[in-house]
């Protein structure tokens, strides 16, 4: 059973307990579990290790004189967190602020369980794509196994496949099409006829090029529309 480390930042203890009940109900229905930590103030949440969290539910209004949820979300992103971020508010006008901090969605109080369930489906689908699966790479003299999450991109070079990982480049046999099929659902997309990119490693878009780590890769004209659609979906847009 997959577990998701989840933070609830909410100054109303009763409402935090209600959100926890909703998450427990969802977990029972979907065969997953949420390890939940609740914080009454954003400052207490930010003083810990935020990079571990998969999901963050952030109340926007956290009491006069304290850091509000928008400010806390900016601080969270500045620390490098990639958590799925939900704003929780009874003031819909705050919703556009979520785009500035890559919030996946917002929840209007009182939170409706059915609406929450639909939004969680989307968030967990993205998290599952990011988690990775074992990939077996057949070499001339043996076999390597790496996590798909470590692969930045795969490219065709002559008759070989080049697996560009976080640490090295691995040369292997096989076809790109079969790897694309194997990695379906893991956040990979073709940016050209000869390159399959792991979307989690895309750090920038510059006209007809993307940055992957410290490299630039050209987007093929025939793949551009489909690739950008896949990238937007992966980022939760």
Counting Cβ atoms within 10 Å, is residue 14 exposed (0-12), middle (13-18) or buried (19+)? exposed
How far is residue 96 CA from its own chain's centroid? Answer: 20
Report all structural domains of the chain as residue ranges with CATH numbers, in order of start. 2-131 (3.40.50.2300), 134-234 (2.40.50.1020)
CA distances from 138 to 6, 124, 171 (A): 38, 31, 9
SS3 55: strand
146-196 residue pLDDT tens: 888 889 999 999 889 999 998 899 999 889 999 999 998 788 999 999 999
Q: pTM for the complete prediction?
A: 0.60
45-95 residue pLDDT tens: 998 776 678 899 999 988 777 888 889 998 988 877 778 999 998 876 655
Burial 106-123 (b: 16+ CB within 10 A, else e): bbeeebeeeebeebbeeb
CA distances from 184 to 45, 64, 121, 152 (A): 35, 47, 18, 15
């Amino acid at each position: 059973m997959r577990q998701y480390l989840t933070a609830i930042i909410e100054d109303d203890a009763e409402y935090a307990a209600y959100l926890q009940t909703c998450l427990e109900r969802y977990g029972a229905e979907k065969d997953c579990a949420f390890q939940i930590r609740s914080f009454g103030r954003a400052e207490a949440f930010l003083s810990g290790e935020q990079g571990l969290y998969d999901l963050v539910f952030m109340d926007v209004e956290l009491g006069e004189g304290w850091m509000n949820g928008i400010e806390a979300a900016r601080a969270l992103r500045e620390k490098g967190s990639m958590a799925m971020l939900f704003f929780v508010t009874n003031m819909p006008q705050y919703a556009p602020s979520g785009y500035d901090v890559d919030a996946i969605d917002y929840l209007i109080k009182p939170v409706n369980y059915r609406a929450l369930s639909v939004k969680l489906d989307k968030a967990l689908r993205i998290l599952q794509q990011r988690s990775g699966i074992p990939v077996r790479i057949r070499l001339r003299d043996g076999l390597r196994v790496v996590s798909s999450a470590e692969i930045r991109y795969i490219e065709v070079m002559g008759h070989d496949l080049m697996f560009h990982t976080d640490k090295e480049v691995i040369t292997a046999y096989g076809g790109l099409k079969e790897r694309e099929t194997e990695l379906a659902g893991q956040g990979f997309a073709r940016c050209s006829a000869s390159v399959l990119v792991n979307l989690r490693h895309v750090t920038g878009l510059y006209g007809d090029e993307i940055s992957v780590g410290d490299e630039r890769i050209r987007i093929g004209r025939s793949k551009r529309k489909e690739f950008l659609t896949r990238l937007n979906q992966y980022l939760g847009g």
